[in-house]
Structures are given as structure tokens and as C-alpha cells.
A and B are shown apart, each in its own frame.
Chain A
Amino acid sequence: MNKTSTLYLARMLLASGMLAVLCGCWNIKDINHRALPIAMGLEETGDELQIYLLIPFNDKNKQNTVIVSESGNTINEIIDRINKNIEMQIDLLHLKIIVFERSIAEQGLNDSIASFMRAGDVSAKTIVTITDQNLKLLFERMKSSTMEEGIGIYNFFEKNAGWSPHLAQTRIWHVFRSAHSHTKDVPVPLINPGHTTALASTGSAVLRHGKMVGKITSDETLMFNAFAGAGSQGKIEVMDHAAVLIVGDTLTHRASFEGNTPVLNSKLTLKVTIIETKGSPTATLIKQELEELWTYRYQQMFRKIQSVHADILGLGQLFRSKLSMDRLDRWRDEYYPRLKFNLKVKAVIQNEGLLKMKE
């Protein structure tokens, strides 16, 4: 039994060593002693940063939300200060939305995003948004008209909840990726306080290398989502003679080089069903109208973003197989402004609803 008793002794020694460890339960902080903010807003006041935090409370099955704000020089310093003055510990783990004010966005988000990615205490899946109105007002709106106990705010952006294809869905890691990428930029949703709802989306901001350089409208954001494959289902398009519901879209590309000019031929097939008609138009007329509308919109949007050298559609990705790495470096400034983008839109009417219609 020698082996067993030595083994036993060894285990007892180790176990008693562990008991000493037990005295320090370092990381224990019960969940009801943590404040878990779900939205954070950043704006610049003079030389300093001002941060707003939207914190939901749960007090005996009653939901409350609280707005806390502080100013300082860097994000972490401000969080620290808030921690000093609040009876719980702030934990940024469940942060769902970050709202930047427009002026910060125009100076460049790269540093803030990099610090979030480095520290790891903010999840990389947090949605990034920009607002061009008063941040304080926005937070007040979020707090007062919160559906679903204050955490409903992020359902605004969730695909299986309140998201609609008008909204770009950009997370921190998307911005991080585009900050380092040669060929991809991102649009960031612009939100403002709504009239009767908590939030209203007024289009998207175009970020180039982390700096805001322009704006696109909601419709154009829809174009972007359809292009990016994020889906355009459920969107209703209104034209002169009819309104249709988009049920699906498919996109094919062909990228080539003509001399030194990159050329992209793409075909977008839209599948729609007709839901409203004005008068009695024919199916061909509706299809024509739809195709013209979309082609026009795409051209508009593309011109806009090409002029600011921001490649949010990710067209550069399609040319990665054709260019070497060092030339890809100069995609945004050299090749992209010269890109010829030929988009053909084809509409397919899947069905006409429960009423018949003329061909």
C-alpha cells in the first residue's frame, strides 16, 4: 500500500495548498452588483470626450433605466471616473450599441475602435452607429420610450427582431477590418431620435479608412445591403404605378481589366411580388419601372461614393485575384476612381398576389 499512501499524502498536500487559494476569490462580483450598460455614446465637448451610458436596472421585477455621463480625456479614464461615483461596478461586456457623434466620426474612429479591440472588454460584435444630432437628446429618447425594459434598443439592429434592410448593420470588427483593409470600406448607420419611436434611421455615413467622408440615404443603404448579400427581403418599393414587395435577390459579377481601367459587369436579379397597383398597369410596365428605378439609384450611389474614394460596396474584393498585393495597396486612390461599374438590373415578378393582372 506504499504507493497508495504516498499518493494520498501528495494529494492531501496539494489540496491543502488549494485551500489557501480559496481565501482569495478574486474575480467574484455578483451579477447584481454589476451595472451592465447597453448603449454608450461618445461626443466631444471642447477638448474633452463626454461619454453617456444607458444602464438598465432590475429592481424586484420592475425595469428601470438610468443615464450616466462623465467627461475626461480617454474612454477608459471616463469609465473609471464613473466607477468611482456609482455603487456598482461598470461592466462593458454587454454593450450593444456605440453611438459616435458626427464630429468624432469625421476625425477618425480608428483609435477608439483599436482600443476596443485591444482591451477586449467590449465585445467585437457591438454595433457602431453615428448620430448627427444631440447625443443627450438621443439618450433621453432611448430611455423614455424604451420598449421591453430598456434592452429593446438593440433589437433595433437584430436580424431576427426589428431589423429592416434599410439599416446597415456594422459592428466594431467590421470597422476594424476596413481600417486595415485595402479594398473594403463600411457604411455606418446614422440614427437620430425618432418622433414617435425611440430611434429613427436617416441613412448611413460612409467611412473611408475609419473617417466619415459622406452620407448615403436609406434607399441607398438598401442598395448596399442587397449588394452585400445582407438581404433585401421585406422591403417595399413604391413606383409610379405599383408597389412591390421584394422577396429575394441574386447577384453575379464579372471583373476584368481593360488596359489600366478596371471594369465590373454585374447583374442583379430582383424577385418581387406585387402588392399594390395604381390603376391597371401591365406586368412589363412594372418591371421596367423597377429596373429603371434601381439602376438609377445604384448609379447615383456609386457616383457619390466613388467621388469620395470610399469602396463600401467592396468592389475591390472582386479584383483581388487580378492584382498583386502591392498594387492592391493603391486600390482606393488609383484604380477605384477609374472603375467602370456596369450594373444591369433584372426584375422577375414571382407572383401577382391574389388578384389577376394583365401581361
Chain B
Amino acid sequence: MDKSLQVIVVYLLTHVGLIFFMYPTDIIETLEAGHWIAVLLGFAIHIALLTVYLRGLKYGAPNNIIDIFKDVGRWFAMVILFPVALYFTMMIIITVRAYSEIVTLIFLDSTPLWAIMALILFVSSLMAMYGVESIFRTGLLVALLFSPALLLVFSLAFQNVEFLYWFPMIDERSATFSYVFSKPYLLSFFAFTGGFLFLGFIPSYIPYKPRKVLIASTALLPLFLISVYVPLLTFGPSAASALQFPFISAVDTVNVSWLMFDRVTLFFLLSLVGFSMIFLSLVIWKTSLLVRSAFKFMSHIVTVLAITAVIFLICLYIPDWQSVERLLWWNTILRLYVMFVIPITTLAVGLLRHRKGANLT
């Protein structure tokens, strides 16, 4: 049965949950003007990789990516997929720690960090234990529940925007793409990679049509642009680069006199945290799948519990925001590997099989 709608919704959800926190900071730090070029470049890379990945998966259908690689050889699969498992684990750690810090910063300042991390991990691991079909259904329901708040905030976010800040449109640095290997730009890929790897893990459980996912991914471009440009146009480039979370601060400036709530930012933020809980549960599930394919004797629930416990303990040892940023940087290297190698390998394997199959007939 075609569950493309669920897949599309979860795909969009996970990206939305990741984009609005760190992505604007990184892009605004990269350039002084002409940010739209950077956004478009990143998006183009994302679409290209997505296409390669989905093509490769189509050749290997209906297996998921673990089985595709196992077909080539067990050791091959382990070598390729071990960094992926490591990447996932680090991603969960960073996301949980970063989001707890952000929540503490913005509104719950006396609740200790471990309590917030415990809450996020509890919810995510509960969802992961229920299984992947349940995660996708939850994603659909949560998207329905939270979208009115999100849409409201998006439309209100433009209240204080001054379009003149768009100029100057382009400058030397952005025109020559000299920033591409700078640290903030590489960090910004955090927002891209988190979301598409799951498409390779779900085929046997959840059938979907890859073309629909590709078309839906174009809906992401306006979101990326909004996340960077709303703070830029509200504060101007120089002030925006002084802010730690530009989009959040930009939404904070919105004054709604007709609503009974004063601080609309909060609902926006919490919807994002809700989405990221779903994202985390998906990643935990993927990690559990990887671990169980290597150690066949473990049951799903025990694996999830073990992963959660390990992550919680590690998170407790991260002392401050600087460490989080350092971890993010180390993870970037893994991320670049995962981002490029996995889709290309999938396509390569798929093409080889296809040609071998064609030779046989």
C-alpha cells in the first residue's frame, strides 16, 4: 500500500525540526551578503544526493539499505555501515544535548538539564520501541496537531521584515564560492543530512514512491530561505550575526495584540522540539536496526533501551555549549562521509546488480 503521504510528512517534519535552530546561525556567519546563493547551493547538493540515493534504492528494491549491502558481502556492509551507526549515535547525543540547552536558555531556566534530556529521550525511545509504522503514524498525527501553530508563526514572522536589508545582493565572497569550505558552511549541512538517510532503511516496512518524495522536497527550499532571511531582514546582517539563535530572536520581536498569549515564540519552539522528538525516535530505530543486524540475538526493545541509556550517560558528561559545538564539528566530518559515500555507494551497487542481471538474461 502506498504510504507516500506518511513518508513525505515525516521527511518534511524532520527537516523543519532541524532547520530553524542552527542553520540560520551558520549561514549568517558564513557570509555578509548574498546568503541566498549559499542556501541555493546547499539545497542543490541536497537534491542531487537525494536523487542519487533514491535511484540506487530503486535498483535494490524492495530491500532496505542494510540488505543491499549485505548482498554484496557481509564485511563490506559492516565497513560501510559502521560509521553510519556512529554518526547516528553522535547525532542523537548532539541533538538531545543542544535542544535541552536551548530549552533551558529560552524558558525553563531552573529545571536541570538532565530532567529535560530524560524527557526527550523517554519520549523518543518510547516511540522507537513501538516500531517504525507507529512512528510514521505518530508523525502524521503530530504534524496535523502542530501545524496550525507553525503556520500562524510563519505568517506572523514577516511582521517586522524590511526588504531593503536584502541589499547588497551579492558580494565578492559569495560570488566566488570561496566560503564553501569554511567551517560555518560545513556545519550548516547539519540541516540537510539528518533527514534523508531514513529513506533507505524503511523500504521493506513502509512502501512509498520515490518520485513523490523528490517533488515534496522542493517544498523545503522556501523553508530554508525563510529561516535565513527572516532574521536577516528583521535585524539587518550586522545585528543578525551577533545573535546566537537569529530566527528565534526574530520571532520574539513579533507583537500580536489580538492573541491571548504574549510570547508566540514558545509555541513555535515547542512544536519544533516535538518534531525533533519524532526525528530522534526514527534515528534511534535506525541505529537499533543497524546494531541488530550485526548482533542478531538482541531484541528490538532491549537494543533501544541500551542505546538510550548509553546516550543519556554520555549526554550527562557534556559540560557546556562550547563542547556541543566542538562535537558538532567532529560530527561534520562523519557527516560529509555519510552524506556523499552512502548514496553513491548505493547507486553503484544498484547499477552493478542491474548490469549483472541484464547480462544474465
A and B touching (C-beta < 8 Å)? yes
Q: Which residues on A are within 8 Å of B, measured CB to CB?
A: 3, 6-7, 10-11, 14, 17-18, 21, 24, 26-27, 94, 117, 120, 123-125, 158-160, 171, 173, 176-177, 179-184, 314, 317-318, 320-321, 323-325, 328
Q: Which of A21, A173, A318, A320 contacts B253 (CB 8 A)?
A: A173
When chains A and B are docked, how far (Å) is the Cα of A120 from the Cα of B111? 16
Q: Which 10 A/B pairs are nearest by Cβ-Cβ distance?
A: A180-B239, A320-B167, A321-B167, A180-B238, A317-B164, A177-B239, A26-B110, A181-B236, A173-B253, A26-B111
Return the chain B residue nearest A14 by Cβ.
Answer: B122
A236 to chain B, nearest CB (A): 25
Which of B105, B236, B255 has a CB less than 8 Å from the CB of A177? B236
Partner of A21, one of B106, B118, B242, B263: B118
Mask, B217-240, CB within 8 Å of A = 1, is 000000000000000001110110
Give A158's nearest chain B residue, CB to CB.
Answer: B257
CB pair B168 A180 closer than 8 Å: no
**Residues of A contacting B214 in the complex (Cβ-Cβ under 8 angstroms):** none
* Inter-chain contacts of B252 with A (CB < 8 A): 123-125, 173
Q: Is the CB of A324 within 8 A of B164?
A: no
CB-CB nearest in chain B for A319: B167
How far is the CB of B281 from the nearest CB of chain A, in Å?
Answer: 14
Given A176-B235, A320-B168, A325-B171, 11 more A-B residue pairs with CB atoms under 8 Å apart are A17-B118, A26-B111, A158-B257, A160-B257, A173-B235, A173-B252, A176-B239, A177-B235, A181-B236, A317-B162, A325-B168
Q: Is B45 an interface residue (CB 8 A)?
A: no
CA distance A94 to B171 in the complex (A): 42
| Contact of B193 with A by CB under 8 A | no
Which listed residue, B169, B236, B242, B305, touches A321 by the CB 8 Å rule? B169
Min distance, Cβ B107 to any Cβ of chain A, angstroms:
9
Measured in the bound complex, the distance between the Cα atoms of B116 and A18 in whole Å is: 11
The residues of B that contact A94 with a CB separation of less than 8 Å are 262
**Is B171 a contact of A124 with CB atoms below 8 Å?**
no
With both chains docked as a complex, state the minimum distance between the C-beta of B259 and any C-beta of chain A, in angstroms: 12
Are B164 and A320 in contact (CB-based, < 8 A)? yes
Cross-chain contact A184 with B253 (CB below 8 angstroms): no
Interface members, chain B 247-289 (any A CB < 8 Å): 249, 252-253, 255, 257, 262-263
Contacts of B126 in A (CB 8 A): 11, 14
Bound complex: CA of A120 vs CA of B115, how far in Å? 22
Q: For the complex, what is the distance from the CA of A125 to the CA of B118, rounded to whole Å?
A: 33
The reply to whether the CB of B16 lies closer than 8 angstroms to some CB of chain A is no
Residues of B within 8 A of A123 (CB): 252, 262-263
Indicate if the CB atoms of B253 and A124 lie closer than 8 Å.
Answer: yes
Cα of A71 to Cα of B109 in the assembled complex, Å: 26
A14 to B121, CA, bound (A): 10
By size class, the interface of chain B is 35 or more
| Chain B contact residues, CB within 8 Å of chain A | 32-33, 105-106, 108-112, 115, 118, 122, 125-126, 129, 162, 164-165, 167-169, 171, 234-236, 238-239, 242-243, 249, 252-253, 255, 257, 262-263, 299, 301-302, 305
Residue from the set B32, B122, B239, B257 with the largest chain A CB neighbour count within 10 Å: B239
Q: Which residues of B contact A171 (CB under 8 A)?
A: 253
Residues of A within 8 A of B236 (CB): 177, 180-181, 183-184
Which of B165, B234, B255, B301 is in CB contact (< 8 Å) with A10?
B301
The answer on a CB contact under 8 Å between A117 and B249 is yes
A21/B301 in contact, CB under 8 A: no
Q: What separation, in Å, do the CA atoms of A123 and B256 have in the docked complex?
A: 13
Whether B110 pairs with A18 at a CB distance below 8 angstroms is no
Q: B249: which of A18, A27, A124, A160 is its contact (CB, 8 Å)?
A: A124
Q: How far, in angstroms, from A27 to B116 measured CA to CA in the complex?
A: 12
- In the bound complex, residues from chain A placing their C-beta under 8 Å from that of B299 are 3, 6
Listed A/B pairs (24) with beta-carbon separation below 8 Å: A6-B299, A10-B301, A14-B125, A17-B122, A18-B118, A21-B118, A27-B109, A27-B110, A117-B243, A120-B106, A123-B252, A124-B249, A125-B252, A159-B257, A160-B257, A173-B252, A177-B234, A180-B238, A180-B242, A181-B238, A317-B164, A320-B164, A321-B169, A324-B168
Select from chain B the residue with minimum beta-carbon distance to A15. Answer: B122
Instruction: Point out the residues of chain B lying under 8 angstroms from A14, CB to CB.
Output: 122, 125-126
A residues less than 8 Å from B110 (CB atoms): 26-27
Tell me how far the C-beta of A88 lies from the nearest C-beta in chain B, rounded to whole angstroms.
16
**Distance between Cα atoms of A182 and B168 in the complex (Å):** 13
Query: Looking across the interface, which residue of chain B has its beta carbon closest to that of A28?
Result: B110
Q: Bound complex: CA of A158 vs CA of B238, how far in Å?
A: 28
Q: Collect the chain B residues with CB atoms within 8 Å of residue A124's CB.
A: 249, 252-253
Given the complex, which residues of B lie within 8 Å of A324, measured CB to CB?
A: 168, 171
- Chain B hits for A328, CB < 8 A: 168
